[in-house]
Amino acid sequence: MKPDITLYEYGPSRSKQARWALLECELEFKAVGGLNILHSEELKKVNPMGKVPAMLIDGKPLFEAAAICTYLADLVPEKGLIAPSGTMERALHMQWVSFALTEMEAYLWSNARNTFVLPKEQRDKALFGQNIEAFLHAAKVLDKVMADSDYLINNRFSVTDILVGFTIGWGNGAGLLEELPNLQNYLERLKERPHCTL
């Protein structure tokens, strides 16, 4: 039986990851989106923070892109988008997603919050340089990993690439991949996929 899925999304956000995963999984879904959905009472019933992506799956709320994409891939094991629980490949999925979120995306988000998210009087750009340096330190590690592989897990596209690829795309948009050719090539491979939302 197909799950009843509603995706709460807003275009230029992490909700691109959830949409891409849904499309790769070939799961039908309804979309609720737009700037007006952010922090709305409707959205807070699904994600108490009022942020996207958030999802209702058979009436049950789920939020945070990593949790959403991982769960969606588990719903359709025949698509081969994630390894089974208890395998080394599943641990590697968690490793690279955690790495991207903590060692890379956190620094991009800090700069973004202090560029256009927070009210002007609350913005603090004192750590911009340090944030960029921290992002690049991790990105260089990932660039070396991608020297010998097209994708992160077993050299095969997976939901891991959706989640990590978004962060790489964000860094590229900030002009931070100029000296990281393997990540640039990785990003181009992801963009060739027909459902890519980057």
> What is the rounded distance in angstroms from the CA atom of residue 71 to the CA atom of residue 62?
9
> 22 and 70: one domain?
yes
Number of domains in the chain: 2
Q: CB burial class (10 A; 0-12, 13-18, 19+) of residue 24?
A: buried
Tens digit of pLDDT per residue, the chain (198 long)? Answer: 789 999 999 988 999 999 999 999 999 999 998 889 999 999 999 999 999 999 999 999 999 999 999 999 999 999 999 999 999 999 999 999 999 999 999 999 999 989 988 899 999 999 999 999 999 999 999 999 999 999 999 999 999 999 999 999 999 999 999 999 999 999 999 999 999 999
Q: Is 96 part of any domain?
A: yes
> What is the rounded distance in angstroms from the CA atom of residue 187 to the CA atom of residue 166?
9
This prediction has a pTM of 0.94
The backbone torsions φ and ψ at residue 5, rounded to the nearest 5 degrees and listed phi first, read -120, 130
Q: Which two tokens stand for residue 182?
A: 């393997």
> 155 and 97: one domain?
yes
Task: Answer for the pair 165, 130: CB distance below 8 angstroms, yes or no.
Answer: no
Q: Tell me the CATH number at 63.
A: 3.40.30.10
Last residue of a domain, one of 79, 103, 126: 79
Task: Answer for the pair 106, 139: CB distance below 8 angstroms, yes or no.
Answer: no
Rg (CA), the chain: 17
